[in-house]
Amino acid sequence: MNVQPAKTRSRAGGRSARRTLRSTRDITMLPGLSNRLPFCELMDGAHVEKIDAASMDILENVGVIFRDDIAIADWKRAGAKVVGDRVYLDRGLVRALIASIPSDFTYRARNPANNVRLGGRHAVFVPMTGAPYLRDLDDVRRNPTLGDLAMFHKLSHMSPALHSTAHHIVEPYDHPISQRHLRITYSSMKHSDKMFMGMTTSPKNAEDVMEMCAVLFGEDFLEDHPVTTGNCNGNSPLVWDETMLGAMRAFCKRNQPVLCSPFVLGGANTPASVPATVAQLNAEALSALAYTQFIRKGTPAIYGHYLSTVSMKSGAPMAGTPEISLMNFMIGQMARFYGVPWRTSNTLGGAKTFDAQAGYESATTLSAVMHSGANYIWHSAGWNEAGMHCSVAKFIVDAEQCAMAYRMAQGPQWDDFDEALAAVSDIGPGGHYLGHPHTLENFQRAYFMPEMFDNNSVEQWVADGSKEITERALEHARMLLSEYKEPKLDEAKNEALLDYIARREREIPAADALNQEY
Amino acid sequence: MNVQPAKTRSRAGGRSARRTLRSTRDITMLPGLSNRLPFCELMDGAHVEKIDAASMDILENVGVIFRDDIAIADWKRAGAKVVGDRVYLDRGLVRALIASIPSDFTYRARNPANNVRLGGRHAVFVPMTGAPYLRDLDDVRRNPTLGDLAMFHKLSHMSPALHSTAHHIVEPYDHPISQRHLRITYSSMKHSDKMFMGMTTSPKNAEDVMEMCAVLFGEDFLEDHPVTTGNCNGNSPLVWDETMLGAMRAFCKRNQPVLCSPFVLGGANTPASVPATVAQLNAEALSALAYTQFIRKGTPAIYGHYLSTVSMKSGAPMAGTPEISLMNFMIGQMARFYGVPWRTSNTLGGAKTFDAQAGYESATTLSAVMHSGANYIWHSAGWNEAGMHCSVAKFIVDAEQCAMAYRMAQGPQWDDFDEALAAVSDIGPGGHYLGHPHTLENFQRAYFMPEMFDNNSVEQWVADGSKEITERALEHARMLLSEYKEPKLDEAKNEALLDYIARREREIPAADALNQEY
């Protein structure tokens, strides 16, 4: 994949090195993205302050429910007005608390070459997670296994534009739910040396993840270095529950970042208004962001959200609609106003197969995400059917789409402008450039050539077997998996991780399959 | 399709009028778009001047070939240095000439309600043209007929976000090529009362189009009112040919706008550099724009281009690549720098079927187009297989995508912000909004609901027949066509048009099928 970001990179080895690269697949991770696009800022300063004021009014006068005794006690100690489980947050308190959130920080991966910065213009692509089904290497829709999860972790590892393996890309149904978080975390750690996400399915599960991270990185290292990310969903409107808050505490206490993610179904759990939905979402995010800093001042935290609008016909979430783009643009402005890194969701869609609907939805979302300047770009590969399945074919194509968006966000390359103009003089009117030395030297870095798009003539395409993109992407996935090389874990750490899992699996009753509290 | 742009539009009849709307399809054309997005401007002033200077250097020192005796004579009279068919254009001359191009103007349609403004932030969506094949209502790929062309003109007429019926959306192979332009023009005029494009396949064909426009609108009316658009492609690098220049003269002399469109295959007929490609394209566009003003000072003209990058494997044009987005952003800046309306191409792609590739390519292009601030947004529906076929299914979906992009480009609606915030207080934490009066009143205008995306559960989707988007779109096309009502031409004008065609068909030998000079 021709994703070398800058001329300097190819200069290292010169032309002959690049020729070699062409004949062997380069799966080297792209550095964390530095997004050079001017962001799409729809709001002027007055609009931003209008949203801010509306959100603060909501926090002060409507309040937020924290369905969690510890959080309620914490908020009382913080000086908030509390009535039952409803917390009324003064804007001064909110502003004071969120002031200590780092505006950017660096994630450490077990391979330091894969460290990535987050915040400001620094962004990362993270694959989807949480699918109860997959469409597999034969495009068959079924429940996933630990083997399927490993496959997605391997594909994440081999996709240059993906900066993370995430966690439960698919839910491994062949392992008891009460113990699943251990195997999921181990799979992320084992199959790739990129960063990964941490399970927040219960406070105890989150603590297990923290312990496993301590084994992998060292207890003390965690104190100063973000190595994983937990997602904490809010229940919009204006509710945070015990599970999420407990998991949040587990992460924050160890200085590990959480996404504070209101779960927005525009029109169903928010008003029928884009700006008012942003105001409510903003209030929700701020309430959780503020709480992270009460838990531990200065701990990294990320302004999050899951964002869809709902269908009037069915109440189902929709993706790729204009309002989702607009909300992304606006939320980006709010997060930058507060100086907090922010997360959004990428390549969402509600298609049942990898048809053109999936393509339109995903590309529309990806584009809005890039122009909105999101930092933690989650669900960047595989998402389909409103997250109900992860598609192997779509995973491959989405990952390449991220590489293309990455290239776009780097902006034009001016370094050889004069040389290239000299070629215009050399060639003159009516000529062609394909044989010109400047073209031969620069074609590959000048123009991205997608592998998953077929641009041949229809005659050639028929001769090649009339394959639509789904079939081509599945072939590509099989090829990648056949070339996969495991980036081996340190043997002692691997043993320690397996010991930890074995001990915890003895302690957690597998039979108690639905009890999330272990 | 819920595309009412503003609350005022629904206020006209109030809530009960909107209920009626919901039960009958509203095919009313959306007003010309006023794009409120902040444009994606990658270049600072120095970069813009760098491109401008490079283009002017090319015009002065490399020169442009005009393969046309009349143009060469014209350039000599204009004071340009001419050597053979190569014209060297001084930057002062170029700037003086392009200064008279109107920065915006209004197209007149035969139904004045469908007039649209172009230039500045004013933009229009125009369907694709020129496909030698179609994928028809059964998704079969075959050569098109006049009946197929009429079908696409009807679908254009019934798509609210399409502001034009264009011209030869598909090539009607059942009519002699030498006479085809007459039937194509008549089909555009007859099946819709939106604006349309004019054939430029030869100077004489262009003159026929002008005569037919004079019949439809009146000879004098044309003098002051743009009613159609001709496309003149350049042969990059730096060549304009006789056919295009002759057609250009036919349009400009009647005060009708032309697109001055370099035909760019990035890396093949331009340098392997995004900024240098823009510089060459800019020089090419400027040379033709300048010529339009020599033909007739003050005639409207549009900065055009067809833009793709080429595949290293096959030399085939690619779409949806990052460099095409970047070039669109940059070209938009250049056109605004010169104060000239500009054209780009929308929903391009190289997929052979309406698969996910087509969706990704089209949506990526559409998004770049909206963020680049293009005015004349051509090829906005149906394009597939690098323009080799127009797909009925894709046409329907693209047209809805344009409606969604239109909504996005309108930005958020703030007019009911306070009411919507009051709903947040009413509902409070943990509630839901679906039954709230503000939601009932505003849901439809607040959130676009695409008809072509299926967002149901997989179970419902299976119960509905497991239809992918291609099948659903074709059903939708059939439904639309069954509801089509012709916006009748004035009887006397219709007779006069048919008389003109009959006379010209007697004059033009049908047998001389390949002679483009008639």
Contact of B200 with chain A, judged by CB distance below 8 Å, is answered with no
- In Å, how far is A186's CA from the nearest CA of chain B? 32
Please tell me the pTM assigned to this model: 0.95
E-strand stretches of A91-212: 105-107, 116-118, 122-125, 133-135, 141-142
Average pLDDT over residues B150-173: 98
Report CB contact under 8 Å: A371, B40.
Answer: yes
Amino acid at A284: E
Average pLDDT over residues B157-171: 98
Structural domains in chain B? 26-411+450-518 (3.20.20.480)
pLDDT confidence band for B510 (50 / 70 / 90)? confident
Q: Which of A419, A428, A457 sits opposite B316 (nearest CB)?
A: A457
pLDDT of residue A314: 81
3-state secondary structure of B166: coil
- Residue in chain A lying closest to B442 (CA): A272
Report CB contact under 8 Å: A273, B442.
Answer: yes
pLDDT of residue A311: 87
Determine the Cα–Cα distance for residues B307 and B268; give it in Å rounded to an integer.
12
Determine the Cα–Cα distance for residues B34 and B410; give it in Å rounded to an integer.
7
Would you tell me the crossing angle of helices B417-427 and A274-295 to the nearest 10 degrees?
50
pLDDT confidence band for B21 (50 / 70 / 90)? very low
pLDDT of residue B2: 42
Report CB contact under 8 Å: A315, B354.
Answer: no
pLDDT of residue A507: 95
At residue A5, φ and ψ (nearest 5 deg) are: -80, -25
The Cβ of residue A429 has, within 10 Å, a number of other Cβ atoms equal to: 22
User: Where does residue B224 rank: exposed (0-12), middle (13-18), buried (19+ CB within 10 A)?
Assistant: exposed
Contact of A271 with chain B, judged by CB distance below 8 Å, is answered with yes
Question: Which tokens is B298 given?
Answer: 């003050």
B208-259 pLDDT tens trace: 999 999 999 999 999 999 999 999 999 999 999 999 999 999 999 999 999 9
What one-character DSSP code corresponds to residue A37? S
- In Å, how far is B35's CA from the nearest CA of chain A? 11
E-strand stretches of B77-166: 81-83, 86-88, 105-107, 116-118, 122-125, 133-135, 141-142
pLDDT of residue A22: 44
Report CB contact under 8 Å: A453, B318.
Answer: yes
Per-window interface: B 30-69 vs A, CB < 8 A: 36-38, 40-42, 47, 50, 54, 57-58, 61-65
Amino acid at B331: I
Mark the ranges of chain A whose per-residue pLDDT is less than 50. Answer: 1-23, 514-518
Average pLDDT over residues B47-74: 98
> Could you tell me which residues are beta bridge partners of residue A66?
A240
* Residues from chain A contacting residue B86 (CB–CB below 8 Å): 429
Determine the Cα–Cα distance for residues B333 and B48; give it in Å rounded to an integer.
7
Interface test with A, best of B310, B388, B424 (most A CBs within 10 A): B424
Determine the Cα–Cα distance for residues B29 and A130; give it in Å rounded to an integer.
42
pLDDT confidence band for B512 (50 / 70 / 90)? low
Torsion (CA) A456, A459, A462, A463 in degrees, nearest 10: -90
- pLDDT reading at B516 higher than 60: no
- Roughly how many angstroms between the first and final C-alpha of chain B, as a whole number? 43
What one-character DSSP code corresponds to residue A60? I
- In Å, how far is A176's CA from the nearest CA of chain B? 26
- pLDDT reading at B45 higher than 90: yes
Per-window interface: A 381-420 vs B, CB < 8 A: 385-386, 388, 394, 397, 401, 404-405, 407-408, 411-414, 416-417, 419-420
Q: Which residues contact A462 (CB under 8 A, 6 or more apart)?
A: none
pLDDT of residue B311: 87
- pLDDT reading at B365 higher than 50: yes
pLDDT confidence band for B511 (50 / 70 / 90)? low
pLDDT of residue B459: 96
Determine the Cα–Cα distance for residues A72 and A81; give it in Å rounded to an integer.
10
- pLDDT reading at B480 higher than 70: yes
Amino acid at A295: I
- CB pairs below 8 Å between A and B: how many? 419
Q: String of b and e for B11-42 (b: at least 16 CB within 10 Å)?
A: eeeeeeebeebeeeeeeebbbbbebebbbbbb
Q: Residue B244's Cα: distance from chain center in Å?
A: 19
Is B257 in contact with B296 (CB distance < 8 Å)? no
Q: Which of A37, A322, A450 sits opposite B404 (nearest CB)?
A: A322
User: Where does residue A11 rank: exposed (0-12), middle (13-18), buried (19+ CB within 10 A)?
Assistant: exposed
* Helix, strand counts (H, E) of chain A: 19, 19
* Residues from chain A contacting residue B424 (CB–CB below 8 Å): 58, 62, 237, 271, 276, 279-280
pLDDT of residue B4: 44
pLDDT of residue A109: 98
Average pLDDT over residues B119-127: 98
Q: Poorest-confidence range of A128-132, A509-513, B331-335, B479-483?
A: A509-513
